[in-house]
A and B are shown apart, each in its own frame.
Chain A
């Protein structure tokens, strides 16, 4: 919580009978237990001044917005709580390395008898911070260099630059972020990037050079993001044996799209949540602001978690999406959806479900996927209370389907197509939670409903939150 120092309120008129006792306990960090609490709450105080020590390039107006509530506190407990909240808000801005709060009685000529001064002692981040990592994975090693300029112009603007130099591909990204002063949830950012990716399941190599501008704002409990993105995409074959269907997609295209995303997240954690729900809805319209790719794309994700007896959690999730090309041109392989792999339908190779040509998976224009999961503590609870809490046993049932839309048949026919030949799988495994950012899964999975052309895998998988490392 930080350090809160409270000193004796000697200049106050000795109304309360326990005033002297409070003075002796001035050095303690924590608030006294119940016996003293009512006394503190009864004391009306007024916050007269709020001081900031250690400000350099940060401008005043954004600070004032964050600490405005402190002035509204009516008693000491509220002062401490509001100061704590202000401290959290200041840290959230991402411009201070450390924030300490000091609450003191007011001194000076204009001091009221019950006046308090709150002082925030802050340490600003340096103007330029850098990082250097090496990364190994996906048959490629790369060196990642990051540069960050926090609080560039004094109002919590941030510029980050990341450069990744790999054995196969090189990518970089530059991004500028600016929150609205006083309202951190409303923010604006501009990104410039070049990203290359290799997709061996489609024998495709894609290079994206793009610029995007996005604006996020909250409405009630939801968070919305509106984004414009312009991408120059270059597709090529990964090998000489790529199928002709993939060869036909090679070349350059320009996509200029507007998208809107809405997220409601009431889960207590994004990795192994115990309760709460998540709903993400995303729509994208391409083609009306330039470019030569034209489509409308919708996709959603829904997740519900419920805690059961014996510390188990039951979780269901559902994803779906549809891509409708506008005009005569068919959809591009870079825009379509893919299904399969440890993040969607376990038991099938990465993105290896659905329409394919000579072994190369082409993706589909409509898909759905769902899962039922049951997380329980490890049997016999080894390491309970400590390391064992990071592990969970995991039982799952995944299903999904992917197809192309050939309009002219009507939506009923598409729904029917998506409902037949469902791919599904079931299995069990162990999940390890890595901090709050990743999870490691080791699963034994039985794929069912495998259709001609799908590639299923009857193997163990290590899944690392979005990246998968195959372990046979």
Chain B
């Protein structure tokens, strides 16, 4: 397919310079998020560097930047899912299907990171090799208009839910070990996270005037020339505001939104307790989803830090994020570069 991922690119720190360098070249036309075409976001190096971040706990993680969604592509065939942490499961070399490939995602735009992070986390938890590709028009390329999406052989599947279904149909699933009650519970929590955290992120990006003016507009329009950058940014803002009104968030203030986020985090924190993952020893789709959202909230710089402060109040959530990041992104990045670079 021609997309390349430098070894270790999935580690956010390593991804920073490469993704930044590549973004200038690969910036294709951007697709409007609203169109059912595919969209990509170009990552602009400037925006990437601006988004610094800091893990609250542990100074050595302080330089986790808002890495642009690297190119997502999975060369090679999918292996059997290895639930568990790095256990050497069987390798399904015999499988004829091709691996998921281009998972395009807007890189430096931080509100897109949750969607890439959670899918990436999920696919890595399934031990499926993926290659991550950044394109400016990823949104427009996607059949549903949402990023990320994966390109497997002839098929294009977008958004985490359908990706999970697709991967499950191919025989990989993280929640096979759960019973019916737990599965229902997992679904409920996933809905909670989607309704609360996702909407809060959108609100903060597009409905909070300070953030919009300083950060969002510039980033969203960065791949495009004048006057297209302004037109598309305003168009996107208008759409998001309309969506907010439709779901009843139109009149909420920032404090109310932060309050909702706090409550959501509290529920998650209580569920997590002292366990390593939400359903004890094994990561599930819920873990990938929560990790994606919390990681983004914690690592993206905004005009005010209240959102990340809310999350930082819950130390077990912080530890959870750190644990997943360490295990699935850093260690994998170092160890399996030979598989990825193809």
Given A237, A249, A252, A329, which contacts B224 in the complex, CB threshold below 8 Å? A252
* Any A CB within 8 A of the CB of B40: yes
- A252 near B156: Cβ-Cβ < 8 Å: no
Q: Give B58-110 interface residues, CB cut-off 8 Å to A.
A: none
* Any A CB within 8 A of the CB of B37: yes
Instruction: Enumerate chain B residues within 8 angstroms of A236, measured Cβ to Cβ.
Output: 31, 35-37, 140
Instruction: Enumerate chain B residues within 8 angstroms of A244, measured Cβ to Cβ.
Output: 151, 154, 156
Contacts A235-B37, A244-B156, A328-B25; A252 near B225 (Cβ below 8 A): no
Instruction: Enumerate chain B residues within 8 angstroms of A250, measured Cβ to Cβ.
Output: 29, 31, 35, 37-39, 137, 140-141
- B151 near A252: Cβ-Cβ < 8 Å: no
Instruction: Enumerate chain A residues within 8 angstroms of B37, measured Cβ to Cβ.
Output: 235-237, 247, 250-251
- A254 near B224: Cβ-Cβ < 8 Å: yes
Instruction: Enumerate chain A residues within 8 angstroms of B38, measured Cβ to Cβ.
Output: 237, 247-248, 250-251
* Any A CB within 8 A of the CB of B312: no
* Nearest Cβ on chain B to A235's Cβ, whole angstroms: 7
Interface of chain B: mostly helix, strand, loop or mixed: loop
When chains A and B are docked, how far (Å) is the Cα of A251 from the Cα of B154? 20
- A interface residues, tally (CB under 8 Å): 22
Contacts A249-B29, A254-B225, A290-B225; A240 near B141 (Cβ below 8 A): no
Considering the complex, give the chain B residue whose CB is closest to the CB of A237.
B37
- B32 near A234: Cβ-Cβ < 8 Å: yes
Q: Give A208-245 interface residues, CB cut-off 8 Å to B.
A: 232, 234-237, 240, 244
Contacts A234-B35, A247-B38, A292-B29; A252 near B226 (Cβ below 8 A): no
Interface residues on B, range: 20 to 34
When chains A and B are docked, how far (Å) is the Cα of A232 from the Cα of B224? 11
Contacts A292-B224, A292-B225; A252 near B32 (Cβ below 8 A): yes
* Nearest Cβ on chain B to A197's Cβ, whole angstroms: 15
Work out how many contacts link A and B, with CB atoms closer than 8 A.
77
* Any B CB within 8 A of the CB of A119: no
Q: Give A15-49 interface residues, CB cut-off 8 Å to B.
A: none
* Any A CB within 8 A of the CB of B192: no
B141, B151, B154 pick with most chain A CB within 10 angstroms: B141
* Nearest Cβ on chain A to B166's Cβ, whole angstroms: 14
Considering the complex, give the chain B residue whose CB is closest to the CB of A207.
B35
When chains A and B are docked, how far (Å) is the Cα of A328 from the Cα of B38? 22
Q: Give A238-269 interface residues, CB cut-off 8 Å to B.
A: 240, 244, 247-254
Q: Give A68-120 interface residues, CB cut-off 8 Å to B.
A: none
A244, A251, A290, A358 pick with most chain B CB within 10 angstroms: A251
* Nearest Cβ on chain A to B136's Cβ, whole angstroms: 7
* Any B CB within 8 A of the CB of A170: no
When chains A and B are docked, how far (Å) is the Cα of A253 from the Cα of B40? 12
- B29 near A247: Cβ-Cβ < 8 Å: no
* Any A CB within 8 A of the CB of B232: yes
Give the top 8 A-B pairs by smallest Cβ distance, nearest first. A251-B137, A251-B29, A236-B37, A250-B37, A251-B31, A253-B29, A251-B140, A250-B140
- Could you list 20 examples of A-B contacts with CB < 8 Å? A235-B37, A235-B140, A236-B31, A236-B140, A237-B36, A248-B135, A250-B141, A251-B140, A252-B30, A252-B31, A252-B137, A252-B232, A253-B29, A254-B228, A290-B226, A292-B29, A292-B224, A292-B225, A329-B28, A358-B154
Chain B residues with CB under 8 Å of chain A are 25, 28-32, 35-40, 135-137, 140-141, 143, 151, 154, 156, 224-226, 228, 231-232
What 12 additional pairs, Cβ within 8 angstroms, besides A249-B29, A254-B225? A235-B29, A236-B36, A247-B37, A247-B38, A248-B38, A250-B35, A250-B37, A250-B140, A251-B31, A252-B30, A252-B137, A290-B226
Chain A residues with CB under 8 Å of chain B are 232, 234-237, 240, 244, 247-254, 290-292, 328-329, 332, 358
